[in-house]
Amino acid sequence: MSATELQQIELPFSQADKVQMLVDSNRHLEEENEALREEVAMMRRMLFGKKSEKLILEKIALEEPEGQDKATAELPATDQTKALSSAQPKRKRRLSATVTKEIEHLVIPDEVLQNPLAYTRLPESSDRVSRRLEYVPGHFELHIYRMPSFVKKGKRSKAGKDAPIYAAAPQGILPGSNMGASIIALALHNKYSLHLPLYRQIKELERIGLQGVSEGVLCNWVRAAADALEPVWKAQHELMLDAAALHIDETPIRCLKSDKTNGYMWAMSSADTGATLYYWQNSRSGEVLDHMLRHGMQKSGSVYEGAILSDGYGGYESWMKNLPVDQKPQWQVCWAHVRRKFVEASCSSNDPAWSRKMVELIRPLYDIERALRDSKAPPEEVKKKREEQSRPIVEEFFKELTKRNRDTQNPPRNKLKDAIDYAITRQQQLSSRLKNPYLPIDNN
């Protein structure tokens, strides 16, 4: 059949049917186009939008513990520290360092310092020597601690020989290591302040003169520093529990050698001072909160008596359900999490105008808090202003959410529905701050 004959065939549709078919097809294309625009807008915002919602050179040879052996690694975590501190590491790694200065220290026993005339120093060949490598920005120094032996004049042992005395070498952070505290502090600074991976740290140490360091050695330094700082960490934890309000949050952190793929880094920060404590666990259950929020971090310790500010994660509620009524901390849910969900809905939901309206309804709450913070208002005034100005806004906000839920029959599960449900189910926790002047509005 030729093209001319095809054009002469008439379809069995009236003109009105043809128009209606075109209208329906156009409407379908418009709906599909709108859905694609929403998706593209969200992807652009995620990719490109704002993330906030607002010298004498000398080379010396050293030996360094490589790390814990296999037998120690298989011990429970609570027993590893004891095992490592009671036994010298078996494996040693040869290191070499280019030093610009050697500094010698004489370490004299206290008895000799108090009565020097009563003792005689033995020949230098009997001295004990300990070496410690220290880092001074840009170069290394070798500190040599010489511990002479002394014998008391006129005193003899049962065998008829002098009984020598000598001072102990200064204690280092890591047993069996030649590394001083300054070098271990450098590794911690590079890892946690500059976020340098271990292999980059090794290259930087080689550049400034320390050869032969491995990732195992660096991990050993970090573990030793953590053990040495644990008493300070515990003392800071006790101070944190004296704060009137605490910010708490957790984020997944990948752990290579763990029973689970991800662990969780919990952060606890004082709303008064901003002091922050980090706590890694392989769980985000209520058991971790029960450990963090008790004095002494023991089951027998008393529960934190202030208020906690967090996101809406259900672990907080489940933990507090198991506490006696008179021991439950006050719980405030972060308003920034609520606002964020409506911001996302305004970019991708089927009713962006209403979502933006909810965002604008939250805005005055932040304006009130900013004014109170800038004026350094006392707690009594903060409580009064929140009652007079913030409470009507909060009540209006939840009134709008409830009305929307009531007027919309079987709404689709989308970002707007998720935002509404998130806020309504946490209404009580979002209103806690109205009665507590020490609670901030969010975790930001």
pLDDT at 65 over 80: no
Domain boundary among the residues 292, 312, 332 is at 332
Tell me how far apart the alpha carbons of residues 126 and 256 are, in angstroms, rounded to a whole number.
48
Radius of gyration of the chain (CA): 34
pLDDT digits over 356-398, tens only?
999 999 999 999 999 999 999 999 999 999 999 999 999 999 9
* Three-state secondary structure call for residue 69: coil
pLDDT at 268 over 90: yes
- Residue 47 lies inside a defined structural domain of this protein: no
Single pTM value for the model: 0.65
- What is the pLDDT at residue 29? 81
294 and 391 both lie in a single domain = no
- What is the pLDDT at residue 70? 39
Maximum pairwise Cα distance, the chain: 134
- Residue 357 lies inside a defined structural domain of this protein: yes
Domain boundary among the residues 163, 191, 225 is at 225
Domain boundary among the residues 303, 332, 361 is at 332
- What is the pLDDT at residue 162? 65
The count of domains in the chain is 3
pLDDT at 3 over 50: no
125 and 252 both lie in a single domain = no
pLDDT digits over 332-352, tens only?
899 999 999 999 888 876 788
382 and 361 both lie in a single domain = yes
385 and 322 both lie in a single domain = no
Beta bridge partners of 106: 146
- Residue 319 lies inside a defined structural domain of this protein: yes
323 and 346 both lie in a single domain = no
Tell me how far apart the alpha carbons of residues 111 and 121 are, in angstroms, rounded to a whole number.
13
pLDDT digits over 176-213, tens only?
888 899 999 999 999 989 999 889 999 999 998 888 89
199 and 262 both lie in a single domain = no
- Residue 174 lies inside a defined structural domain of this protein: yes
- Residue 235 lies inside a defined structural domain of this protein: no
- What is the pLDDT at residue 80? 47
CB of 394 within 8 A of CB of 429?
no
pLDDT digits over 212-223, tens only?
899 989 988 998
Burial of 107 (0-12, 13-18, 19+ CB in 10 A): middle
pLDDT-derived band of residue 159, with 50, 70 and 90 as boundaries?
Answer: low
- Residue 16 lies inside a defined structural domain of this protein: no
- What is the pLDDT at residue 407? 72
303 and 385 both lie in a single domain = no
The mean predicted confidence, pLDDT, of the chain is 81
| Sequential DSSP letters for 340-396 | HHHHHHHHHSS-HHHHHHHHHHHHHHHHHHHHHHHTT--HHHHHHHIIIIIHHHHHH
Q: How many CB atoms lie within 10 A of CB 82?
A: 11
346 and 326 both lie in a single domain = no
Among residues 116, 110, 126, the alpha carbon closest in space to that of 161 is found at 126
pLDDT-derived band of residue 44, with 50, 70 and 90 as boundaries?
Answer: low
Task: Give me the domain span that covers residue 92.
Answer: 58-225
pLDDT at 71 over 70: no
256 and 354 both lie in a single domain = no
327 and 381 both lie in a single domain = no
CATH number of the CATH domain containing 267: 3.30.420.10
- In terms of DSSP H, where are the helices of 116-264? 181-188, 198-208, 215-240
219 and 249 both lie in a single domain = no
- In terms of DSSP H, where are the helices of 209-329? 215-240, 286-292, 314-321
- Residue 405 lies inside a defined structural domain of this protein: yes
- Residue 50 lies inside a defined structural domain of this protein: no
Tell me how far apart the alpha carbons of residues 213 and 140 are, in angstroms, rounded to a whole number.
15
pLDDT-derived band of residue 247, with 50, 70 and 90 as boundaries?
Answer: very high
80 and 212 both lie in a single domain = yes
Distances (CA, A) of 90 to 78, 85, 86: 21, 13, 12
